[in-house]
Amino acid sequence: MASSSLFTSATDADDPLSKALQPPPDESPDDRALRLQQQREAQAISHRIDEDIQESKKAFDRRKKAIKILLLGQAESGKSTTLKNFQLAFSPAHFRNERAAWKTIVQLNLIRSIKRLLEILQDEWDQSVRPSRPDKGKGVAGRSPPGPTVRFSTSPLTDTHRRIRMRLSPLISIEEELTKRLLPEANEKVRDVCVRAGSGWKGVLTSVSSNHIERRPGTAEGRSKDDPTAVLAACRDDIVTLWEDPVVREVLKKHNLPFKVHSFLNDAARIATLIYEPTDDDIVRARLRTLGVEEHRFTMENGALPGSEWYIYDVGGSRSNRPMWIPYFDDIQAIIFLAPLAFNLMLEEDSKVNRLEDSIMLWKEICGNPLLGKTTLILFLNKMDILQATLASGIRVSKYVPSYGEQPNDVQHVTKYFRDKFRGYHKRLSPQARSFYWHETSVIDTRSTAAILVGVREGILRAHLQSVNVI
């Protein structure tokens, strides 16, 4: 025992760590108390690091078990609207917690439409002004005598319209300020309301809508200076009058823009009030373009496996954003691909490229990508409401898609034609055999979309459980 004790003491004496931990021989009581306090603090920090590591591991394990969905499609195909439908249907509490931010987005959508309407009216005035000289008889050699140039307008718009336009001008400065807060690098060419992924824009807008003192219901007292609510309410009658004016409608028709400025203008009387709160349909319809890739995590509140975690990635669909898609191909269970049946429209980035042709090209690339060989692909033939209106207006598919030929120009036949195209590429290009899932959608219709998403969710969940050998 003595030799063992001597061996242990020798080892401890030679151990640098043991030496470092030994108190100094001349340690005072105060120094000892300080040393012990520092040791306790170091131990507490060590415990917190261990806890953080454990929490990170748990989060990693949860994320690994979570269901991950990628929304793909060109810009303005309906990806963000589909995401909002998912949240509304399966995580309604989370969806409604963000109502304050979406209130400002809806108001900004309305102001953007008003701004576009005023621009069209200004274009009408500019194009209809003609120079003229008063007829004062002929001068020397038959030439008109010199005189002041008189400018007159051939536009049906009147001074009343001009006065309304002037009274609505304060909305433009509010629109510019909010746009800069959402996207500081935005310029005048940006037509849509845009945000950059990961910018925390919802927090910014929630503060705009909520950063005010307690106020009496129906009053503007205490509102944030950036809150557009009060100015919209003050302009409400002018907005409604201008939008419902038959002369203005004729000008819009003349400029071939009957549908492009209508976002929320039909609801202006309801939205432009001091007590406005957005409905679920308002939030789903609100237009917002996301630049970059935005991850949305939510917990399933109802249906199968409540409490399960889902991640949905909303990626920018413009051509410059498409290279960002590839890193997300590796670890997802399903892709929802949105293809608007906009056979008569062109890409915003390239006016020579048909939007539907671009969607088909993207679909071919997705189907043939080897990284996605085991991924469930779900096709949404979207904007069926617009397709129906387009065909009802007499526009023929064969004018833009010659291969359609003389088939009936109705929704049923047109939808089947394009569905079969997408199905054929899916079958030929997929690296291995897989089922073809497709739905006809109008994702701004929350009720019909909710029914579709229930089936989509169940299919994705079943495929996920099979992949992890649960069923």
384 annotated binding-site participant: yes
Cα-flanking dihedrals φ and ψ of residue 153, to 5°? -110, 135
What b/e readout covers 233-267, taking b as 16+ CB neighbours within 10 angstroms?
Answer: bebbebbeebbebeebeebbeeeeeeeebebbbeb
361 annotated binding-site participant: no
Q: Are 256 and 285 in contact (CB under 8 A)?
A: no
Burial of 353 (0-12, 13-18, 19+ CB in 10 A): middle
Task: Measure the CA–CA gap between 46 and 33, rounded to whole angstroms.
Answer: 20
Structure tokens at 301: 């509140």
420 annotated binding-site participant: no
Structure tokens at 5: 């004790």
Long-range contacts of 403-407 (CB under 8 A, 24+ apart): none
Cα 457 to Cα 296, 315, 376, 384: the distances in Å are: 16, 20, 12, 21
85 annotated binding-site participant: no
Q: What is the side-by-side order of every strand in the sheet holding 309-315?
A: 293-299, 309-315, 67-72, 334-340, 376-382, 437-440
β-sheet bridge partners, residue 310: 67, 298
Task: Measure the CA–CA gap between 453 and 415, rounded to whole angstroms.
Answer: 20
CB atoms within 10 A of CB 202: 16
382 annotated binding-site participant: yes
Binding-site residue numbers for Mg(2+) are 290
Binding residues: 290, 382-385
Q: Please give the annotated binding residues for GTP, written as ranges.
A: 382-385
